[in-house]
Chain A
Amino acid sequence: NAGVTQTPKFQVLKTGQSMTLQCAQDMNHEYMSWYRQDPGMGLRLIHYSVGAGITDQGEVPNGYNVSRSTTEDFPLRLLSAAPSQTSVYFCASSPLGGNDNEQFFGPGTRLTVL
């Protein structure tokens, strides 16, 4: 299993540009989520999904869109990038149900908005 994969690893955007951060997992996990991490801080939840066709907002959703058309993929879209969105973005996944809901994180995408 590749686990959770994220592309690209690094990205530089200009203010106002749009882009999509890709996240995929091959563990058949129902739950997927996106976090951002600013320097020296903990991770903050942007959006999450409990299955294909179902998404919901987290703590800091403004400026980001998500969709979940398949179990495997959970892309994060920035429609009009702003310097405040400069951050490291992590995708995570886990199965639903039970007590052992370990979440698996991807390696991150480092985004700079100029």
Chain B
Amino acid sequence: DAKTTQPTSMDCAEGRAANLPCNHSTISGNEYVYWYRQIHSQGPQYIIHGLKNNETNEMASLIITEDRKSSTLILPHATLRDTAVYYCIVRGRGDYKLSFGAGTTVTVRA
């Protein structure tokens, strides 16, 4: 059973913020939300993760709703190099296996 639901695809204008939604309505209390991306058949790349607080790093911000049933990954100033498939993954602490769905194909347009 899929633990997360993401839109199949989305477009974004270069220089604008890209907001990627993810639903994880069955998430349990000890499960984290992770985001990875895969640029054109390269190996997936870690972006960010969080438990219940909002998180920010040099790549992106992660906003998790108070009920933790959904989250949004924000790329603040999308560039053409951000064109990739973005995966939202729910993972329990101590469980290292990653379950990849189909992800969201993000296309950044000039």
A interface with B by C-beta (< 8 Å): 4, 31, 33, 35, 40-45, 48, 50, 58-59, 88, 90, 92, 94, 96, 99-108
Q: Given A33-B97, A99-B93: A42 and B43 within 8 A (CB)?
A: no
Query: Which B residues, 31 to 83, have Cβ-Cβ distances below 8 Å to chain A?
Result: 32, 41-46, 49, 51
Partner of B43 from A41, A44, A105 at Cβ < 8 Å: A105
What is the interface of chain B mostly: helix, strand, loop, or mixed?
loop
Contact between B32 and A99 (Cβ–Cβ < 8 Å)?
Answer: yes
- A102 and B42 CA atoms in complex are apart in Å by 17
Of B9-17, B18-26, B100-108, the stretch lying at the interface with chain A is B100-108
Chain B residues with CB below 8 A from A107, complex form: 42-43
- A31 and B102 CA atoms in complex are apart in Å by 24
CB distance from B8 to the nearest CB of A (A): 11
Q: What total of A-B pairs shows CB separation below 8 Å?
A: 54
Q: Given A43-B98, A45-B97, A99-B93: A90 and B87 within 8 A (CB)?
A: no
Contact between B96 and A31 (Cβ–Cβ < 8 Å)?
Answer: yes
Q: Which A residue sits closest to B46, measured CB to CB?
A: A102
Chain B residues with CB below 8 A from A104, complex form: 46
Q: List 15 A-B contacts (CB under 8 A).
A: A31-B96, A33-B97, A35-B98, A42-B87, A48-B97, A88-B41, A99-B32, A100-B49, A101-B96, A102-B46, A105-B43, A105-B44, A106-B43, A107-B43, A108-B42
- A92 and B45 CA atoms in complex are apart in Å by 10
Chain B residues with CB below 8 A from A48, complex form: 96-97
Chain A residues with CB below 8 A from B102, complex form: 40-42
| B41, B46, B93, B98, most chain A CB atoms within 10 A | B98
